[in-house]
Amino acid sequence: MNRVSSLEKSSQSREDGECVEEEDSVEWKENKMKMLVVGDSFVLVDDFKKAFSTITKTNSVRFIEMNEQEKLVPSTPSEKSIREYLGSPKQLIEELKADQEMECIVVHGAPVTEEVMDAGPKLKLIGCARGGPVNIDIQAATRKDLPVVCSPGKNSDAVADLTIALMIMLSRNLVRAIDHVKRTKIVGADNFEGNQFFGHELGGKTLGLVGYGRVGSKVAKRALAFGMNVLVYDPFLDKSMIESPGISVSDLDSLISNSDYISLHARESKENENLFSEKQFKKMKQSAYFINTARASMVDEKALYDALKTKKIAGAGMDIVRYDSNRPVNPLVELDNAIVMPHIGGATFETTTKGADIVAKQLERYLSGLDLQTVINPEAMLKKKK
């Protein structure tokens, strides 16, 4: 019987509800299993095939591509409980009904609802190549004693890189400078042409990190390389796990008022909804920049818009914003001192490879009888052990 490693209980230090991972060695043993692996436009079927090359030698694995054109209009409680998915559960249900012997299903963005689980009576395990498997009905999986393994930290380097990139872009007026060249087509005619785009260096400045999980800690490491000082607010981590040369623990108010850059890396939760609103933006330095590469729900965007419009803060870099179908154009996009990205934080080739690899390694452990390390719902396994 497989055992499950314990999960840390931090609700803020882990980005996007990620499960944690512990190290152990894998001793491969043949233990045949039937699996359905579902690729999509983000993690391709080929990505999964490469990651599962060892598994396919001794197991029956069917690879399919998600039909993303087939849209889901949520109607059941389970369908309404999931989000950020690609395609419709109908495709997975048809696949599982066509082969009732499937014991494992692995996805990236495909929606795995209770109805999907019901269609596979012999399912033993669900895999998701994401840090936070929000496209899977975790509660239903737990009720059915189905452990869900995910890919914690797969995009941590990518998001940390983008966070630093946004800081530099804002500080050095890079968007304005690039737009100037594209618009005028004239460059290099004057040695002093850069005087229109004076900016700031990162060295010697203070970066305030709200949340110190996988991404936040990697942003800190990069910031130190630039010669920055780092303040961290994360009430769920012991001080000893954070403080080191150049990095200090702070309360939230002090962090806000003393930072030249503030970057969000907390976990999405009800408690963190609108974590930054009018009150917080008023406490920031007028010269400070605000960065969000975490989740849109943590920011009151109207308050941020007002702070940027009235120049109460210098600028903002956003990898993710709220979408309102009644107002397709987000007002932040129209501000000169805001950089808004189309949620590219985890959009790297390395991220997709890591996501598929992490899930594949967990399945190898399962087939070898070793502990699963990245289970999001350990209760499912604990019930089986009783």
C-alpha 325 chain-centroid distance = 23
Q: Torsion over CA of 124, 125, 126 and 132, rounded to 10 degrees?
A: 140
Can you tell me the mean pLDDT for 213-237?
97
pLDDT at 4 over 90: no
Pairwise pLDDT comparison (277 vs 383), residue with the higher score? 277
The Cα 177–Cα 154 span in angstroms is: 33
pLDDT value at position 327? 86
Q: Which are the contacts of 6, defined by CB distance < 8 A and separation ≥ 6?
A: 378
Using a pLDDT cut of 70, give the percent of the chain over it.
91
- CATH code of the domain containing 375: 3.40.50.720
Q: Helices (H) and strands (E) in the chain — how many of each? A: 13, 12
The Cα 323–Cα 130 span in angstroms is: 22
**How crowded is residue 329: how many other Cβ atoms within 10 Å of its Cβ?**
8
Can you tell me the mean pLDDT for 334-338?
96
Query: Can you give the residue range of the structural domain that contains 367?
Result: 15-154+348-385
pLDDT at 16 over 80: no
Residues facing 342 on adjacent strands: none
pLDDT value at position 7? 27
pLDDT at 28 over 60: no
Residue 186, in any domain of the structure: yes
pLDDT at 358 over 90: yes
pLDDT band at 27 (very low <50, low <70, confident <90, very high): very low
pLDDT at 163 over 90: yes
| Helix, strand, coil abundance in the chain, percent, nearest 5 | 35, 15, 45
Q: Torsion over CA of 90, 95, 99 and 105, rounded to 10 degrees?
A: -100
Residue 374, in any domain of the structure: yes
Same domain, 147 and 249: no
pLDDT per residue as tens digits for the range 296-324: 999 999 999 999 999 999 999 999 999 88
**DSSP H/E element including 158:** helix 156-171
Residue 192, in any domain of the structure: yes
Same domain, 316 and 361: no
pLDDT at 14 over 60: no
Same domain, 179 and 256: yes
pLDDT per residue as tens digits for the range 99-145: 999 999 999 999 999 999 999 999 999 999 999 999 999 999 999 99
State the helix-helix crossing angle for 174-184 and 156-171, rounded to 10 degrees: 70
The Cα 127–Cα 98 span in angstroms is: 20
Residue 104, in any domain of the structure: yes
pLDDT at 22 over 60: no
Same domain, 141 and 180: no
The Cα 103–Cα 105 span in angstroms is: 7
Contact 287, 239 (CB under 8 A): no
Residue 312, in any domain of the structure: yes
Residue 63, in any domain of the structure: yes
Same domain, 148 and 278: no
Same domain, 168 and 149: no
The Cα 96–Cα 117 span in angstroms is: 9
Residue 7, in any domain of the structure: no
DSSP 333: G
E-assigned strands of 29-155? 34-39, 60-65, 104-107, 125-128, 148-149
Residues facing 264 on adjacent strands: 210, 292
Same domain, 233 and 377: no
pLDDT at 18 over 70: no
Same domain, 241 and 229: yes
- What residue type is 181 in one-letter code? V
Contact 115, 93 (CB under 8 A): yes
pLDDT per residue as tens digits for the range 240-269: 999 999 999 999 999 999 999 999 999 888
The Cα 377–Cα 150 span in angstroms is: 10
Question: Which of 133, 121, 102, 125 has the alpha carbon at shortest distance from 2?
Answer: 125
Same domain, 222 and 303: yes
Which residue bears the tokens 């669900």? Answer: 126
Same domain, 300 and 370: no
Same domain, 306 and 289: yes
Same domain, 118 and 228: no
**DSSP H/E element including 165:** helix 156-171
Residue 10, in any domain of the structure: no
pLDDT band at 384 (very low <50, low <70, confident <90, very high): low
The domain total for the chain is 2
